[in-house]
Structure 1
Amino acid sequence: MKILVTGATGFVGRNVVRQLAEAGVDVRATTRRPEGRHGFPAHVEVAGADLDRPQTLLPALEGVEALYLFPVEATARAVVELAREAGVRRIVDLSAASVSVGLHVNPVEAVVEESGLEWTHVRPAGFMANMLQLWAPMVRAERVVRYPFADEPANLVHEADIAAVAVKALLEDGHHGRAYTITGPASWTVREQVEAIASALGEPVRYEEVTREEARRLLKAQGGFAAEAADLMLGFSDYDGSAAGGADGYSDQDWSALERPWPDLEQVLGRPGRTYAEWARDHAEDFR
């Protein structure tokens, strides 16, 4: 089986590529910049393609039986149709746990379901890895995290666990027509997350609780993903980009159902998900 991985340089996609390669699968990874290896295993084929321009995927789809689909709503229908015409028989798409609890609608899921191909939706809760882009610059520069929500619990999931569920669905039968809600094994407060990062570093990391407005200013100043995601992460906007309802940013959305662990990950993998402390140890050098 040849498997095509789109979004292959992202947090989850990179892990999908690595885990498939470790399983001995014939993997082709797409990137807009194929001239670099991007840390992929040596025997992984790297193909140039851009999901924003679906026709660029045609060479990469040749001989492919299964597709890991990174969701780009604007071009999803064209990408899925090209995959179907190329002979792809199975699609596993990356979605979000917010869909499972009715807080978000992902049109990409509908496109995949309508394709007539085997499909599986992987719906992760918040990424632990987001903190690499939100907090790591602060930790590297000053050994401090300035952020609100000190003692509010959040269930976050290790990107390698999200990938492991996707890999199972790509390689094994029995996952067609399933939507897996992927969470971590427990919720962690911001204060506890910072403590876990400090423990992984073996150095003190100070936590300073700030208002949402101050955190927004700090993240916007960082630029990149932090600036782009600040309004959503801090509750100033909803998934559709509209302003969130109340003073705390969350009054119109009930996230409590995603604070508890869901059983899907353990049912698929036969083991619990990795904890935040494990994730922090895995990424200690990124914070150092």
Structure 2
Amino acid sequence: MDKVLVIGAGGQVGASVVEQLLDAGAAVRAGARNPEKLSLPDSVEVVRTDLLQPETLKAALDGVAKVFLYAVPQGIADFLDAARAAGVRQIVLLSSQTVVDAFPEQKPITEMHQAVEEAIVASGIPYTFLRPHNFATNILMWGWPESIRAEGRVRFPYPESHSDVIHEKDIAAVAVAALTGPGHENRAYFLSGPESVTQRRQLEIISEVIGRPLEFEELTEAEAREALAPIVPVWVMDAVVGYWAHSDGIPTHLSDTVERITGRPARTFAEWVADHAAAFTP
């Protein structure tokens, strides 16, 4: 089976791609900025790979047929030059559905992913673009685990904002199908979870899974921006707050792509919480 380089192997999705490729019997090379931090089976070759340091790319790509890639516009030109030189035959890119369906506040996210997609298309290397919208793991960034563990509540805006939260394992499963099976070249896939879930309902589900009463304390947008300021850059804050405002009370679009490609239904948010229950448990 072709050797696959997984760039960003320490990330939530990348780590799952590595695990599922190994389960499929693939030869895997794991690339990361800090490979010494990876804890992987001995069968996995680990190599330093930094898209912003092109001198790391030649060794990382040597002998590789396929690549799983995150969207990093600043390093894409050097990466594609190195990939062509190495004879890479397919790139599976973790992109974003914002390239085709976005609110105005999400423009920087849209442009970032568009730039990488367009560069890959122009390179002539066969590609598969994975376009999820809302990662279930996002709530791990917003301070929910810490607040739930300490106080049994979350303080957050727009409790009725909907999202199509998708488990990272499902994104990885589609990536692995594209990397190991035929028929996915030069395709783009919108990926979502199986349900449109409000933020209030997400907290209720966490409560049900961990068996502890939890409270949603609604913040104003201004209060939310103050709370998010230490966590994310302003452009990310504008994008996520804009999304929450526009999706307030409005169910989001869903896709059956995960089931069509992998043969199993996308995991529910409750399944995601069960997999991450330790994060919310004191």
Regarding TM over 0.5, the answer is yes
The 2-side partners of 1:260 and 1:111 are apart by: 28
Give yes or no for the alignment of 1:183 onto 2:192.
yes
Q: What is the CA deviation profile of residues 59-94 of structure 1, one whole-angstrom value per residue up to 9, with x for unaligned ones?
A: 111110000111101111210120111111111111
- Structure 2 counterparts to residues 66-145 of structure 1, below 5 A: 66-101=66-101, 104-105=110-111, 106-134=114-142, 135-145=144-154
Asked if the contact 2:158/2:248 (under 8 Å) is kept, the reply is no
Q: Aligned letter for 2:53?
A: R
Distance 1:28 1:282, change over 3 A: same
* Identity, % of aligned positions: 41
Say yes or no: does 1:215 pair with 2:201: no
Partner of 1:24: 25
Aligned AA for 1:67?
Answer: V
Q: Distance in 2 between matches of 1:178 and 1:88?
A: 17
RMSD: 2.3
1:2 CA displacement: 0.7
1:243: which partner in 2?
none
**Map of 1:146 onto structure 2:** 155
Distance 2:102 2:187 in 1: 17
TM-score under structure 2 length normalisation: 0.89
Q: 1:255 to 1:22 in 2, by over 3 A?
A: farther
Please state how far the C-alpha of 1:266 moved relative to its aligned partner: 1.9
Query: Is the contact made by 2:160 and 2:248 (CA closer than 8 Å) also made in structure 1?
Result: no
Which amino acid in 2 is paired with 1:190?
A: Q
Pick aligned residue for 2:256 from 240, 263, 270: 263
Distance apart, 1:227 and its partner CA: 8.1
Structure in which a larger fraction of residues adopt helix: 2
Deviations 1:181-208 (A, max 9, x none): 0011110011100011112212122111
1:122 is paired with a residue whose SS is strand
Is 1:230 the counterpart of 2:230 in the alignment? no
Task: Work out whether 1:33 is the aligned partner of 2:34.
Answer: yes
Shift of 1:148: 1.2
- Structure 2 runs not aligned, ≥5 long: 104-109
Deviations 1:87-135 (A, max 9, x none): 1111111100111326534111111112222111000111000111211
Q: Deviations over 1:115-172 (max 9, x none)?
A: 2221110001110001112112212222211111112221111111011111111111
Asked if 1 retains the 8 angstrom alpha-carbon contact of 2:162 and 2:249, the reply is no
Q: CA deviation at 1:226?
A: 8.6
Q: Is the 8 A contact 1:186 1:260 kept in 2?
A: no
Mapped partners of 1:254, 1:172: distance in 2: 39
User: Is 1:158 aligned with 2:151?
Assistant: no
In structure 1, distance between residues paired with 2:257 and 2:248: 21
Map 1:43-62; keep pairs closer than 5 Å: 43-62=43-62
CA distance in 1, matches of 2:210, 2:202: 13
Letter in structure 1 aligned against 2:172:
A
Instruction: State TM-score, norm by structure 1.
Output: 0.87
Q: Report the count of equivalent residues.
A: 271
Q: Distance in 2 between matches of 1:287 and 1:51?
A: 33
Does the 8 Å contact 1:187/1:259 carry over to 2? yes
Measured in 2, the distance between the counterparts of 1:177 and 1:156 equals: 25
- Are 1:205 and 2:206 matched, yes or no? no
Aligned counterparts of 1:255 and 1:146: Cα–Cα separation in 2? 18
